[in-house]
DNA sequence: GAATATGATTCTAT
DNA sequence: ATAGAATCATATTC
């Protein structure tokens, strides 16, 4: 006791403060609150542990009693009103999102490829269109494309199965949540708008999953297309006669090897290829010739001779028709030199 | 089977 | 739009 009194006397200033604090009810609460959360949790745990079937029944009964209380409707409507206000204020923040451009792009592509959209007929039509777009000749392609179509149909089937699965899961989940909310709306204020919002959230989540599905389907289709429809993969050399015709034109127009549209059409007809193939050929030829003129020298001479001979023949025939006595060998421009001495 | 040729595609610049 | 250039993917040659 002596010690205590000595300490207290030695801390007179503090003692004064303490007394002042004790007089303040707020400080008492502060002091108590330090130890309280743990005690609360302990209580709660205790309660949880103590729950038995009977106590659950009891709780249900109490809930029921509360539901039937005469003040309940009034209180409920007040709560609804408050909530309506807060919910509305929240709603203002997150507006309806516009249709995602990414998903629209994917949709368009899937439709164009015949994966989504109408059944079989549409699919094969799209495949044919794709084949045509890829530049393949519309003939012989049917056998090669049957494999492609089969694979596309497979992708299509998987896609639709997955899509259906997602849609089903989505609607199931939505229903579940809505039922839950409806159930809860009897005991807590839930406005239809809130339900709507919740549904929208669920749909957004599922549509993001759907987008992944669409994305990977698109990738699969692209890979398939590149495997089957890329013209580079089934390249065939033009036949000898066609290359001859093209080379003849090229070397006889070496100073300006740019055939007009009409010339291209004519060449295409002569060679049995498309105009765009003629364009490709000239594009390739020009650049490759330019890159290595030396390498093409021989070929150039060959075609120079050829055209000269052809011209000679035509001219000879003509002159033969006019005057059969004229010989067809002499008097024409000499063939160009050949580096290795051959003709 | 590597080297080369060739038709097609893609990208860039005009 | 078109040409040029680079590149790809297959065909052909040696």
A93-113: pLDDT as tens digits? 455 556 666 777 777 777 766
Does residue A230 lie within 7 Å of nucleic acid chain C, judged by its CB?
yes
Q: Is the pLDDT of residue A336 over 50?
A: no
What is the distance between the alpha carbons of residues A223 and A132, in angstroms, rounded to a whole number? Answer: 18
Helix (H, G, I), strand (E, B) or coil at A303: helix
Q: Which residues contact A136 (CB under 8 A, 6 or more apart)?
A: A229, A231, A234
**Domain range annotation of chain A:** 56-91, 101-118+140-236, 240-314
Do A310 and A335 contact (CB within 8 A), yes or no?
no
> How confident is residue A140, by pLDDT bands cut at 50, 70 and 90?
very low
pLDDT of residue A220: 78
CA of A306 to C1' of B4 (A): 25
Model confidence pLDDT, tens digit, residues A144-161? 566 677 778 888 889 899
pLDDT of residue A68: 81
pLDDT of residue A272: 94
Do A48 and A158 contact (CB within 8 A), yes or no?
no
pLDDT of residue A168: 93
> How confident is residue A251, by pLDDT bands cut at 50, 70 and 90?
very high
Classify each residue of A221-237 as buried b or exposed e, where b means 16 or more C-beta atoms within 10 Å of its C-beta: beebbeebbeeeeeeee
Does residue A288 lie within 7 Å of nucleic acid chain C, judged by its CB?
no
Task: Please tell me the CATH code under which domain A240-314 is placed.
Answer: 1.10.10.60
**CA angle (A132 as vertex; A131, A135 as ends), nearest 5:** 95
> How confident is residue A334, by pLDDT bands cut at 50, 70 and 90?
very low
CB atoms within 10 A of CB A271: 20
Q: Is the pLDDT of residue A23 over 70?
A: no
> Which nucleotides on chain C have any atom < 7 A from a protein Cβ?
2-12
**CA angle (A77 as vertex; A196, A79 as ends), nearest 5:** 75
pLDDT of residue A164: 92
Does residue A288 lie within 7 Å of nucleic acid chain B, judged by its CB?
yes
pLDDT of residue A247: 95
DSSP characters over A185-196: TTTS---HHHHH
CA of A232 to C1' of B9 (A): 8
Least confident of A91-100, A181-190, A330-339: A330-339
Instruction: Read off the DSSP letter of residue A96.
Output: P
CA of A297 to C1' of C14 (A): 22
Please give the span between the terminal C-alpha atoms of chain A, in angstroms, as a whole number: 133
Model confidence pLDDT, tens digit, residues A281-295? 999 999 999 999 998
Which sign, positive or negative, has the C-alpha torsion A110, A112, A118, A122? negative
C1'-nearest nucleotide to the CA of A277? B7
What is the distance between the alpha carbons of residues A51 and A223, in angstroms, rounded to a whole number? Answer: 60
Cα A1 versus chain centre, distance? 84
């Amino acid at each position: 006791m002596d010690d205590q009194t000595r300490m207290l006397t030695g801390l007179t200033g503090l003692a004064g403060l303490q007394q002042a604090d004790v007089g303040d009810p707020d400080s008492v609460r502060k002091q108590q609150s330090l130890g309280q959360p743990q005690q609360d949790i302990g209580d709660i745990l205790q309660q949880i542990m103590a729950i038995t079937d009977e106590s659950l029944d009891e709780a249900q009964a109490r809930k029921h009693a509360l539901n039937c209380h005469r003040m309940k409707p009034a209180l409920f409507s007040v709560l609804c009103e408050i909530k309506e206000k807060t919910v509305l204020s929240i709603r203002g923040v997150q507006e309806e999102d516009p249709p995602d451009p990414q998903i629209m792009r994917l949709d368009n592509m899937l439709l164009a490829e015949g994966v989504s959209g109408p059944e079989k007929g549409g699919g094969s039509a799209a495949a044919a269109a794709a084949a045509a777009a890829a530049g393949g000749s519309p003939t012989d392609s049917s056998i090669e494309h049957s494999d492609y179509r089969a694979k596309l149909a497979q992708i299509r089937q998987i896609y639709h199965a997955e899509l259906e699965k997602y849609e089903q899961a989505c609607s199931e989940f939505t229903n579940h949540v809505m039922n839950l909310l409806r159930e809860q709306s009897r005991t807590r204020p839930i406005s239809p708008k809130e339900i709507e919002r919740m549904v929208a959230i669920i749909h957004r989540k599922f549509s993001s999953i759907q987008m992944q599905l669409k994305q990977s389907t698109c990738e699969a289709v692209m890979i398939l297309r590149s495997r089957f429809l890329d013209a580079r993969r089934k390249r065939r050399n033009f036949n000898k006669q066609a290359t001859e015709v093209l080379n003849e034109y090229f070397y006889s127009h070496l100073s300006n090897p740019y055939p007009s549209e009409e010339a291209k059409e004519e060449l295409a007809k002569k060679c049995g290829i498309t105009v765009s193939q003629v364009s490709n050929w000239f594009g390739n030829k020009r650049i490759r010739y330019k890159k290595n003129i030396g390498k093409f020298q021989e070929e150039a001479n060959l075609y120079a001779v050829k055209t000269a001979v052809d011209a000679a023949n035509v001219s000879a025939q003509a002159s033969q028709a006019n005057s059969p006595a004229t010989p067809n060998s002499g008097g024409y421009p000499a063939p160009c030199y050949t580096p290795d001495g051959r003709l």
